[in-house]
Chains A and B, each alone.
Chain A
Amino acid sequence: MPRYVVERSFPEGLSLPTNVAGAAKCVDIVNTNAEEGVTWLHSYVSADHARTYCVYDAPNPEAIRQVARRNGLPVDQITEISVLNPYFYLSMAGASRAAANRTVYRAPWRPFRYFL
């Protein structure tokens, strides 16, 4: 199943409260997606909640647009992607313990935030 990134824009800002209503909306979306074999993996949301970049596994772009319409979600752009993961590369190339120890963090480490 190919993987896609779907860009959406919400001019009034996306709001998905972390309560029962929000969870119910998520379940609705997932169930509607399942009707066409579309899987919503996760989304990245801009700081102003106006743009999202959603990662999906789907059989084809037509299925993504169909379920987006049923869910009432806008679609700006769909791009097919392949997954590039640095840890996969490092493990394949057999990076040694010593090399890993040599890694220096230049910036102070701060955790990312989950969308609330």
Chain B
Amino acid sequence: MELIERDYALQRLNDALALARQGAGRTALVYGEAGIGKTSLVQCLAAAHEHDHLLRGWCEALFSPQPLGPLYDMADVFSARTRDLLGREGRRAELFASLLADLKSFEGTTLIVLEDLHWADAATLDLVKYLARRIQHTHAMLVLTYRDDELNERHPLRLLFGELPSDVALRIPLLPLSEAAVNDLAQRCGRPCEGLYAATAGNPFFVTEALSAEGVPASVRDAVLARAARQPPSVRAILDLAAIVPARIDVSLVDALLAPSREDIASVLVSGLLLAQGGSYAYRHELARIAVEQALPPPLAASLHARVLRHLEKRDDVPMARLVHHAAGAGLSESVMTYAPQAAAQAALHGSHCDAAWLYGKALAHASGLSDEACADLLERHAYQCYLTSQIDAAIDAYASALALWRKLGNVLQQGHVLRWLSRVYWVAGRNAEADAYAEQAVQWLESCDAGKELTWALSNRSQLHMLAGRTDEAVAWGTRAIELATRDGDTEILAHALNNVGTARAARGHVDGAGMIERSLEISLEHGYGEHAARAFANLTSTAVTTRDYTAAQWHIGRAAVYFADRDLDSWSHYVMAYQARLDFEQGRWEAAGALASRLLARADITPISRIPTLAVLARIRLRRGDPGAEALLEDVTQLASATGELQRLAPVAAARAEASWLRGEPALDDPIVRLTCAQAAGLHDPRALGELRFWCRLSGADWDGEGEIEPVFAWQNEGQWQQAALAWQGLGCPFERAFALLEGDEAGMAEALATLNALDACASLRRSRELLSRAGVRGLARGPRASTSAHPAGLTLRERQILTLLSQGLSNVEIACRLARSEKTVEHHVSAVLRKLDAHTRTEAVMLAGRLGLGEPH
């Protein structure tokens, strides 16, 4: 088939295919309006490379899409293992991995085509994301087609495009034909070309339809219907039947329902509206099918749907999605109620939770004749799928309705179950007070009856809420009960959940056994494949390590978590861990890395509030300390977000930032209500770290908080004037900024070093304010600008440091340098570490390389 005006697009696709042949796979997005010729383009591409593997899958315009429909279309070429994993619950990560392994094992180049992605289900979109991120190292090319005019702002496909790596995704828009091309086509058919371009606007399908019609039809619909109207009634019946079955209709189905004669079949194929492909008939284009379908009078359409449904019910290899489609089309309530829940369960199995939620909703809409018990069960399933897809309000409503029904039926166990879930959903919605109330109710109800597993879950849920709010003792008490019961009954999932909660609560207070418990939870989760629980364990290990300033352990956990999350595309968990990586870098003085990571995270559209809060806090503090614009705006944003949660773990960094901002402005920190409230909260919940940092800034800004409460030892030393010990401790932890502030309360040498450190960190605003305060306190000789020769040298190195850098680049050791300069080795070490810090280098070799690149060297 020859295509007009598609040479450039074909050439780009061929180039990409050539790259894939060499082992660097690509993803191509082919898009345009309906009828623009996407399928024709792909067929042309496939025809030109016949010796390669070709895998094709289609998404169909069904009532609700069949989960992983396109994958089922191409399943035959995959290995037995992949086909086996298809449709098994909770094994999606393995399925995708197995599929990728199969792709890598194919010889030659593979072309994977997925068509009409605008109708895709969530699981297929996840598959596309998975493949697109990993296709660079295979001999495969992924071609996706979709209609861009059918995507609104919120379409999941738009989110997907944001996830695709931009350097390996080609965008190939297909444009309508030009007037010259349309006229050319008309001339080839020997038809007049007046008015053709004006009527068709260059849409290729419309043009071909118009060219085989008489005169110039006003629209595609008119052209198709005119052609259909010319057919005799028996042929029209076939066309009508084929119109209500999306994409393709089996030959056997047509024979069974209509028993057409051979002449009728021949006529219908000659008319050009239907094509015969394999064992089925298909309309030449979806637009034609829709035109005929919409022209059917509703009673006729409904009866056709009903007849198809009755026939399909007798077979057992029909995908559930088709049964639901015809049941809905026929308007048969009982059928919808029978099939929709089954289709929803299938969708949930495949991980298409949006579709599952929607299908359960549809089933509920037709659920008038259902028993109370079945209705309550359906409501619970609907609510759970809504919870998984962040449709929180719908989930709350559904659970509330289910609760009312169970209450009416007097089923205590189920009531307890729903109460626990209501508690969880309210917490996700940020309504902590209601969450706590429902958690209490759940435990009370379930304790009164012999509840077994349900009670253990309710206890663990209660423990989790206490842990998140910072109430350690309660969290440990409830959680320990849950652990006992879970161990006794051998419920591994609840055990993992409860160990995580208790471990996190204890670790957050600095108890050593806490991390061990979370590790145990992680072990159990990994062993039994509880993906979400493992992710939560990694997240809590990271956050507690960072909060307790165990920076080496935190970095190790982040590394492990990254490996685990990358394999499974667990994006929201990895954002959370990356937010803590940013905080780790920030607290260790690597502000450039922290700022870059924070900016990248905040640029993403899909980041959740609990990941946004630590990221915003870090970026706000960096900007405050550097005096860069935009700090106040960020601080306002994050204060709102953190206050909405009301949890100390979110509020503490925000309050510390606000206290520091007050100090920079010269106002007492305690004037800020957020700071006061958080101080009280930290004291009440016995959090020495949060209280320590807050009281430090309060004291510096003029008025210390006067309540009771244990504070972190380092800050306690600073309060008592033991600045040397504090500075040493900060150095051991690797926190240069905090160390500088400890030194500022020391002797003159200490102050000088502190100011130099702040200068090296680029903390301009903090530096200016410190100098101001020092000069007001009468300290002379420090409140000048940086030494002239320091700032003339780009990295801010002093003369002495430049000398030492030159000697370093000549390969001398510290001892040799000390000899050369007639200084003590201790002094040389001090200068070398200053050089490394100012150049932001980790080793001497790195420093020497950097020096070479920046052109630093011996002063003239």
Using a CB–CB distance below 8 Å, which chain A residues touch chain B?
4, 9-12, 59-63, 65-66, 69, 72-80
Q: Which chain A positions have C-beta within 8 A of B627?
A: 77-78
B592 touching A62 by the CB < 8 A rule?
Answer: yes
- Of A9, A65, A72, the contact of B592 (CB 8 Å cutoff): A65
Complex A-B, nearest 9 residue pairs according to Cβ-Cβ distance, in ascending order? A72-B794, A62-B595, A61-B628, A80-B629, A12-B792, A11-B788, A72-B854, A78-B628, A11-B792
Docked pose: A59 CA to B792 CA in angstroms: 28
- Chain A: interface secondary structure? mixed
A-B contact pairs, 8 of them (CB 8 A): A10-B792, A12-B788, A61-B626, A62-B592, A74-B796, A75-B764, A77-B627, A80-B629
| Complex Cα gap A10–B840 (Å) | 22
Residues of chain B within 8 A (CB-CB) of A11 are: 788, 791-792
CA distance A79 to B630 in the complex (A): 9
B762, CB-defined interface residue at 8 Å: yes
Pairwise interchain contact A61-B792, C-beta atoms closer than 8 A: no
Q: Does more than half of chain B's interface fall in helix, strand or loop, or is it mixed?
A: helix
User: 12 extra interchain contacts, Cβ-Cβ under 8 A, other than A10-B792, A61-B626?
Assistant: A11-B792, A12-B792, A62-B595, A62-B599, A62-B619, A62-B622, A65-B592, A65-B762, A66-B595, A77-B764, A78-B626, A78-B629
- B313 nearest CB across to chain A (Å): 58
Which residues in window 839-855 of B have CB below 8 A to A?
840, 854-855
Contacts of B840 on A, CB cut-off 8 Å?
69
The 8 Å CB contact of A75, one of B595, B762, B788, B792, is B762
CB neighbours (8 Å) of A4 from chain B are 629
Whether B623 is near chain A, meaning CB under 8 Å from some CB there, is yes
Instruction: List, in ascending order, chain A residues with CB within 8 A of B622's CB.
Output: 62
Q: How many residues of B contact A (CB 8 A)?
A: 24
Q: A65-B762, A79-B629 are in contact. Are A73 and B596 (CB under 8 A)?
A: no
Could you tell me the distance between the alpha carbons of A77 and B794 in the complex, rounded to whole angstroms? 16
- B residues touching A (Cβ–Cβ < 8 Å)? 592, 595-596, 598-599, 619, 622-623, 626-630, 762, 764, 788, 791-792, 794-796, 840, 854-855
A61, A69, A75, most chain B CB atoms within 10 A: A61
Contacts of A60 in B (CB 8 A): 599, 630
Contact of B855 among A61, A65, A72, A79 (CB under 8 A): A72
Give chain B residues whose Cβ lies under 8 Å from the Cβ of A59: 599
Q: Which residues of A contact B628 (CB under 8 A)?
A: 61-62, 65, 78
The interface residues of chain B lying within 8 Å CB-to-CB of A80 are 629-630
In the assembled complex, the CB of B593 is this many whole angstroms from the nearest CB of chain A, namely 10
Q: Point out the residues of chain B lying under 8 angstroms from A77, CB to CB.
A: 627, 764
Output the nearest chain A residue to B592 by Cβ-Cβ distance.
A66
Cβ of B630 and Cβ of A9 under 8 Å apart?
no
Closest B residue to A73 using CB positions: B794
A8–B596 Cα distance when bound, in Å, is: 22
Q: How far is the CB of B703 from chain A (nearest CB, A)?
A: 30
The CA-CA distance from A59 to B795 in the complex, in Å, is 24
Distance of A78 Cα from B192 Cα, bound (Å):
67
B262 to chain A, nearest CB (A): 67
Bound form: Cα–Cα A62–B621 in Å: 12
Expressed in whole angstroms, the Cα–Cα distance for A63 and B791 within the complex equals 21
Let me know if B599 and A74 touch, CB within 8 A. no
Q: A9-B791, A11-B788, A11-B791 are in contact. Are A76 and B592 (CB under 8 A)?
A: no
Chain A residues lying within 8 Å of B630, measured Cβ to Cβ, are 60-61, 80
Shortest A14–chain B CB gap in Å is 10
B contact residues around A79 at 8 Å (CB)? 629
Smallest CB gap from B631: residue in A: A61
Q: B626 touching A65 by the CB < 8 A rule?
A: yes
Q: Which residues of chain B are within 8 angstroms of A69 by Cβ–Cβ distance?
A: 592, 840
Report A-chain residues with C-beta under 8 Å of the C-beta of B595: 62, 65-66
In this complex, which of A10, A59, A60, A77 has the most chain B Cβ atoms within 10 angstroms of its Cβ? A60
Question: Which residues of the other chain, A, contact B791 by a CB distance below 8 angstroms?
Answer: 9-11, 74
Determine the distance from Cα of A4 to Cα of B626 in the docked complex, in whole angstroms.
15
Chain A contacts of B794 at CB under 8 A? 72-74
- Chain A CB count within 10 A is highest, among B596, B788, B855, for B596
CB neighbours (8 Å) of B764 from chain A are 75-77
| Cβ contacts under 8 Å, B855 to chain A | 72
Chain B residues near A63 (CB-CB < 8 A):
599
CB nearest neighbor in A for B623 = A61
